[in-house]
Structure 1
Amino acid sequence: MTESAGTHLDESKKDFLALVEPLIVGWNAETAEMPHALLVQHYTELAQISFHDVTIDGPHGPIPARVYTPVSAPLSTFMWIHGGAFVTGDLNMPEAHWVSLSLAAAGHRIVSVDYHKALGGTHYPVPMDDVHAAWKWVHTQGWNGPLRFGGGSAGGAYAAALSVRLRDEGALQPDAVLLVYPIVHPQLPEMTDEMNAATAGLPVRDSFNPRIIEGMMFNYAGETDALSDPHAFAGVADSTGLPPTFIINSEHDVLRASGERYAHQLKDAGVDVAWVTEMGSDHGQLNRPLDPAGISSLTRIIRWLESLQG
């Protein structure tokens, strides 16, 4: 990595942090738009789900998590990792809470996990170590049935990289992995003409462009060497021997370039992979509980979990 390339990455990171600063500052206000009471008022079947917070011991400090228990005996245990551009998000955001409630209502035990954010000098491998520790914790609970995990957006990056790390460690892999609108490459792969057309004219396309995404990934990585670390970015890994994977991309989303490219990488490596594009949706539909695209994606996830039960 040349000095000029390093300077370029530093500038991209500064631009990214400047862009997301208002989001970080206003995060609590944003997530309060759909509190639990309103969720169960709109989706009455979610009111029957019990949940409780737990703290998992991690190598870099405590890791907040929340366990959701279905009414009947769980069909499986599923660890879910929310997104937030690696710098924001929590267990109360709809992408964490609504998704977890809904999957628990479909009969699955859900462990929703948080992680250290890439802010204030925190970078890889700290958040990755958090989700790794959370997965090890899941295995200590003695729960019966299949064990799976997945994540959305940055959470998808963590889930994909975790499967690579577990394979390389010879550790217990999940039965299957779910990635929803993930970003798994340190640089956004080239977009097709169709992807460019699908994102043309969107305000987010002007602000969240490939340069900003590059800055986001470098901010998470912390140093240039980590950009080629397969335990940080699954998109640079050998995909051989990874678990069956289901990927949901969003039509009007520049990150679809990463999700689709990774799907083809998995397929070329002989991995059992399926992927679908949520038509009509932009990025982050699982964080919008009243969005038809979010409802559609959640339904796809539930049906996917059902298909795994045989």
Structure 2
Amino acid sequence: MSHPPTSVSEYSLVVAERVESADDVVSLILRHPDGESLPEWRPGAHIDLLLDGGLVRHYSLCGDPGDRSSWRIGVLRVPEGRGGSAYVQGKLHAGTPVRVRGPRNNFALRPAGRYLFVAGGIGITPVLPMIAAAEAAGADWRLLYGGRSRSSMAFLDELAAYGEAVTVHPQDRHGLLDLDGYLGEPDPGTLVYCCGPEPLLAAVEDRCRAWPPGALRVERFQAREQEETAADAGAFEVLLSRSGHSLQVPPGKSVLETVWAAGVSVLFSCAEGICGTCETEVLEGEPDHRDSVLSAEERESGETMMICVSRSRSPRLVLDL
């Protein structure tokens, strides 16, 4: 079960090293300027970079969790993006200070005897420490790694050490990934982890519909499209249990926007339902989940919600704020 963070620390770090890892991909090694140890993290965790101009972008940690001296992230330049990757690649060089928040983990690796990993493009970043952990645990695992071309696929030198457990599948040479062959037979003892562009995630979700509930976990870099529902057209009440505020959330406004307008400070980052920063405990009511973080089981429980995008199916929500 995912739980909302009670507090998230911020750090002033420095870019210790910058490496060109593939076409349009750079890796940044971040360290404390005084050499202090960084907080512990586990595979699947990400950090937020707090950039100039109010930009906040989250990136998966892709180094060694056992190395407390540094954090590594991989950043893909996205020309049609919102400016975060262009800023990171254009402004952050060796010696540049950077503010960082985290780490936080919405994509944790659960224990299993066997894993099937699927990564597309920069989606390899959270998977790298996962396969290292699976290998160290003695689990049976495989990785199917796709990209536009071999030159666009980062960290191939590191993955080569795993031999035949890794299948590298550049699209310009081999076409689309053979997901039917890779995921065609459901296995009750296997967990599937996938990260990459939305078409890949949708295709993997489709192939895993016959798998046992909870077997698939995905992490998105962009919010999935939402269909309009009746909840979009109506207002609802939000009672903040800690502050005592009773607020009306109108159509077209998020819970987060409404709470902030009332002067209640809530931690958030992406405002798109993909990072998990604004996850909030629900004490009463039925959320209308619009996020791309919670699993089907977590949504069904209704214990938490991402207030930046999710609304309410009930006339009233009581939140732990």
TM bracket (short chain):
0.3 to 0.5
TM-score, normalising length: structure 1: 0.33
Bigger fraction of residues in strand: 2
Bigger fraction of residues in helix: 1
TM-score, normalising length: structure 2: 0.32
